[in-house]
Structure formats: structure tokens, C-alpha cells
Amino acid sequence: MALLGSKTFQNYIAGEWTDAASGETFESTSPANGDAIGTFPLSGEEDVNRAVAAAKEAFEEWRLVPAPKRGEILFRFGELLRDQKEDLAQLMAREMGKVLAEARGDVQEAIDMAYYMGGEGRRLFGQTTPSELRDKFQMSVRMPIGVIGVITPWNFPIAIPSWKTLPALVAGNTIVFKPATDTPTLGQRYVELMLEAGLPGGVLNVVHGGGGTVGETLVRHPDVRVISLTGSRETGVAVLKAAADGLKHVHLELGGKNAIIVLDDADPDLAVEGIIWSAFGTSGQRCTAASRVIVQRGIYEELQGKLVAAAEGLRLGYGWEDDTDVGPVINKRSLEKIHSYTEIGQEEGARLLTGGEVATGDGLSDGFYYRPTIFGDVEPGMRIAQEEIFGPTTALIPVDSFDDAIRAANGVKYGLSSSIFTRDVNKAFRAMRDLDTGITYINAGTIGAEVHLPFGGTKDTGNGHREAGQAALDVFTEWKSIYVDYSGRLQKAQIDAAE
């Protein structure tokens, strides 16, 4: 693997690379082995204010660039990402920790989004409707909103910025982007490639630094009209409160406690594959990870045995090595949180079937590795079955019937993804109707969204908005309704039409 060596990076504001006003910095290190990766500006209020002012100024010109031209820049960005896919994946395995196949998928998702939103430059459809009056034309059009604050987590360091920045840009908005402090190098590469694609200065600004400083200043800034945040529920609530006084549009994609249901009639081997991939892929650090498996009793013993064997066959290691199945978790705090849930599960009386410990030895001791962990005999109300752990831990919950399974699946505060393994088409359709989540999979795990359908969740997973597909455009545009009267006289809606 080509190692980068640790470098010093800057913010990008008003078309120029620049240090934090304070001159302070922070380090990015690899969760795999502690290697230094980069030094970044620890920015503050002054830097955010400059970036917002630049984005506000750039908006006046960018909103007038024809949308197909904006789309062409996105398309070029997609091609640059495609050319750089392997380098970005290698960097991601190092800075974020995920295994190469998944890192390539992360970049591919951004490529797909670039092509999709690039095409939107030639659509951005509105509506025309007939008028109730003669000689009158009417239509609705999408308007850009202004400066967008984009705040992202570390777990999809290329894909998630693309879900937000690309629809925002094609619609004619400008951006101040704050990447997660655990993956700033990937945020930096993302912006560099956007500039290489031809984005004018000021349209996309990047300000590195903490959530409580850079993030919160962005959220409170009066000239930022939209905040798009992906992160934890706690952060979402704080952001929504901070944005309330400014009556901002707030788009929140938050946590999950996703369940896979396995009915007695399911193909057990297919279910095991789906569960292992959904529970332990990205070391369980996906918002759509399957941290609950709700199993009908007739198949419970068989499934449990196969799952434990499969989990114990997973190899932990550096993400950039080809034979690694599970990489590290993001940082020490996360490792400690994951282990605390193992202790909570044991105290609650769940049965620890495998894992439940920090993995050391074989070069793992310098990183943050946790053994894939499965609890059995979990009750739906236990904390390990209710709270987001965000690590390689899943809970097997036995149930008697389809109805009990649906009830257990819906009995959490989150509503992001769900899945059911069954060969009964009637039950599959009932599940599609009754599972209270934004995404449902039939005979597949809880992960695997594609960019042209809406992505997001119900209940505490968000506030009703969606990323991706056409739905994303609703976050980054305002509707304007336009009426054109060509009758030459004053016609009064509802009054003249009623005659």
C-alpha cells in the first residue's frame, strides 16, 4: 500500500488555502495502527465567519450558472473520483479503518451520486398545472436557497459528503463543509477533487475543526439557511435547538437500531450471510447496521449455531490487507463504549455467545479492534436491544410468531432500516407495510442502499427529510409558484373563476 506520510493541511475559504485564524491544529491518526496521517487547522468562529461570507458572495454568481453547466462539473467530479477510486479507498482503509472492498464501495456511492446529480442539472423538474382562469399560465420551479452548512460523520467519509454537497450544488447553492475530525484527510481530498472538476472559488469552502466550535458556529450563523447533518441523535437534537431561533431548515440523518427478522421458513444460509454482512461489515459502524436479529423459535437454534461459527471465522486486521474481514473501530472512546455494552448485556442477563472482548496481539494492539460479538436470548426491552452501540455487536431475540417479530422490530425509538428473511410472499408484503422504518429489505440484510432512492428513517432517526434520489432536492431547494396572466385584464382567482 502506498503510504502518504503525514502532511499538513489547510482550510479552503474564498478560493484560497489558509490556516486557522488561531494557528492551532489537530492530528488525524489511523485507528488501525496509530500512524499519523495529517495535521489540520483547529478552526474557530472567525474561520467560519469568513467561509460563510465567501459562500454568501459566491452564491450570487453560482445561482445564475445554468444548471446543466453545474451538472457538468459534477459529472467531471464523478470521473475524477472514478480515476482516484483505488487511492481514495487505500486512504480510507488507513484513516477510517474500513476494509478495502467496503472503502471502494464508499467511493463508488459518491461516483454514482455525482452521475445522478450531474444528470439532475438537465432535469430539476417543476410542475405546470392548468389555471382555473382563462389566458393564464402557471408553474412551480425549484429555487436554490443560499448558503448550506454541511456537517458529516466519519463512517462514510466520501459517500456522505456526496449525498449532501452534490444535490446542494446542482441546485445552485453554495456550501461551508465541516468534515468529521476523525476523517479530515478524506474530506480534504473530496474538496480538492471538486476544485479540480472546475468548481469556482467560494462555492465550496471547507473548515476543519470540532463540532462544538466549527459545527455550532455554522448552525448559529444567520447567513446559513440550511444545515444538513448526519450524526448521532444527541447531536441532532442539539443542532435542531441551536437552529430554532434562526428558523433554519434543518435536515437530520441520525442513528439506527436496525433489525433483521428471520422467520421459520427462511433460507438459513442466506440469512446468515445477510446477518454477518449487516452486523459486522464496517465493524458494525453503519447507521444501517443490523444490531438486532429477531428470530422465530423454529429456526433459532440452527441460526444461532451457524451465526456463531461464521462470526468466529471472521479475520480482524488492517483494512488494507486483502484477507481482512473486519477492520478496527474508529477510536478509543468508541472501543470503550462498545465494551461497556458487552458488560451491560451480561448484567441484563443476555447470553454472550461469542466475542465480547477487545482484540489484541498480531499487530492489533496499536489499534482499536473489537471481536465480533453476538448475544443470545435477548429480550426486546434490554438496553443492548434498544440503544445504538455502533460497533460489531448484535443481539439475537427469539420470538414466537410473525406478529411478535414485527412488534419487536418496531419497539425501538429509531426507524432507519429493517429486513425480513422469509419465503412467504404474503408475510413479505405485510412486513413491507408494517415495519416502521424508512428502508425495508426483503431477503437481504439491512444495508445496501442505492443512490436513486430516498435514504433516511422514521421516528428518532431524523426529522422527516431524505437524502438521495429526487427527495434530496427537497432539502436543498425552495419551491416557487409562478402565475403568468396574459389576458390583459385583472383576473381574480377564486372570485372570477366561481362565476
Which of residues 74 and 219 has its CB atom nearest to ligand NAD in the complex? 219
Mask: binding to ligand NAD, 443-482, rule CB under 6 A, as x and -?
------------------x---------------------
Which of residues 5 and 222 has its CB atom nearest to ligand NAD in the complex? 222
- Closest separation between CB of residue 437 and ligand NAD, Å? 11
Site for ligand NAD (CB under 6 A): which residue of 287, 303, 412, 420? 287
State yes or no: residue 176 binds ligand NAD (CB under 6 A). Answer: no
Q: How far apart are CA 407 and CA 436, in angstroms?
A: 10
The upper half-sphere exposure of residue 440, i.e. CA atoms within 13 Å in the direction of its Cβ, equals 18
Site for ligand NAD (CB under 6 A): which residue of 216, 267, 379, 434? 216
Q: How far apart are CA 335 and CA 343, in angstroms?
A: 13
Q: How far apart are CA 487 and CA 129, in angstroms?
A: 17
Strand order in the sheet with 136-144: 127-129, 136-144, 477-485
State yes or no: residue 40 binds ligand NAD (CB under 6 A). Answer: no
Q: How far apart are CA 328 and CA 335, in angstroms?
A: 9
Find how far residue 436's CA is from the centre of its chain. Answer: 19
- Closest separation between CB of residue 20 and ligand NAD, Å? 15
State yes or no: residue 219 binds ligand NAD (CB under 6 A). Answer: yes
Which of residues 272 and 289 has its CB atom nearest to ligand NAD in the complex? 289
Stretch that binds ligand NAD, among 32-40, 41-49, 223-231, 347-355 (CB under 6 A): 223-231
State yes or no: residue 238 binds ligand NAD (CB under 6 A). Answer: yes
Residue type at position 275: I
State yes or no: residue 313 binds ligand NAD (CB under 6 A). Answer: no
Q: In this structure, are residues 94 and 35 in contact, taking their beta carbons and an 8 Å threshold?
A: yes
State yes or no: residue 92 binds ligand NAD (CB under 6 A). Answer: no
Q: Annotated catalytic residue: which of 287, 348, 387, 467?
A: 287
State yes or no: residue 52 binds ligand NAD (CB under 6 A). Answer: no
Q: How far apart are CA 142 and CA 393, in angstroms?
A: 43
Q: How far apart are CA 379 and CA 348, in angstroms?
A: 9
State yes or no: residue 161 binds ligand NAD (CB under 6 A). Answer: no
Stretch that binds ligand NAD, among 118-126, 129-137, 215-223, 345-353 (CB under 6 A): 215-223
Residue type at position 356: G
Stretch that binds ligand NAD, among 168-176, 214-222, 339-347, 421-429 (CB under 6 A): 214-222
Q: How far apart are CA 61 and CA 172, in angstroms?
A: 9
Strand order in the sheet with 290-296: 351-354, 373-376, 393-399, 290-296, 258-262, 417-421, 439-442
State yes or no: residue 390 binds ligand NAD (CB under 6 A). Answer: yes
The upper half-sphere exposure of residue 272, i.e. CA atoms within 13 Å in the direction of its Cβ, equals 18
Main-chain phi, psi angles of 336, to 5 degrees: -65, -40
Q: Is 109 a catalytic residue?
A: no
Q: Is 57 a catalytic residue?
A: no
Which of residues 92 and 263 has its CB atom nearest to ligand NAD in the complex? 92
State yes or no: residue 391 binds ligand NAD (CB under 6 A). Answer: no
Main-chain phi, psi angles of 95, to 5 degrees: -85, -35
State yes or no: residue 215 binds ligand NAD (CB under 6 A). Answer: yes
Q: How far apart are CA 215 and CA 159, in angstroms?
A: 19
- Closest separation between CB of residue 292 and ligand NAD, Å? 14
- Closest separation between CB of residue 164 and ligand NAD, Å? 10
State yes or no: residue 212 binds ligand NAD (CB under 6 A). Answer: yes
Site for ligand NAD (CB under 6 A): which residue of 11, 174, 188, 235? 235
Find how far residue 111's CA is from the centre of its chain. Answer: 15
Residue type at position 29: T
Q: How far apart are CA 470 and CA 120, in angstroms?
A: 9
State yes or no: residue 81 binds ligand NAD (CB under 6 A). Answer: no
State yes or no: residue 254 binds ligand NAD (CB under 6 A). Answer: yes
- Closest separation between CB of residue 150 and ligand NAD, Å? 9
Stretch that binds ligand NAD, among 164-172, 234-242, 475-483, 491-499 (CB under 6 A): 234-242
> 111-129 burial by CB neighbour count: b if 16+ within 10 A, else e?
bbbbbbbbebbeebeeeee
Angle in degrees, 0-180, between the axes of helices 67-83 and 85-95, rounded to the nearest 10: 70
- Closest separation between CB of residue 241 and ligand NAD, Å? 9
- Closest separation between CB of residue 132 and ligand NAD, Å? 42
Say which residue the cell 451457524 belongs to: 306
Say which residue the cell 438537465 belongs to: 122
Q: In this structure, are residues 475 and 228 in contact, taking their beta carbons and an 8 Å threshold?
A: yes
Q: Reduced to 3 states, what is the DSSP secondary structure of residue 132?
A: coil
Residues between 352 and 381 with contacts to ligand NAD, criterion CB under 6 A: none
- Closest separation between CB of residue 230 and ligand NAD, Å? 5
Active site residues: 253, 287
Residues that bind ligand NAD (CB under 6 A): 151-156, 178, 180-181, 210-212, 215-216, 219, 229-232, 235, 238-239, 253-256, 287, 388, 390, 416, 461
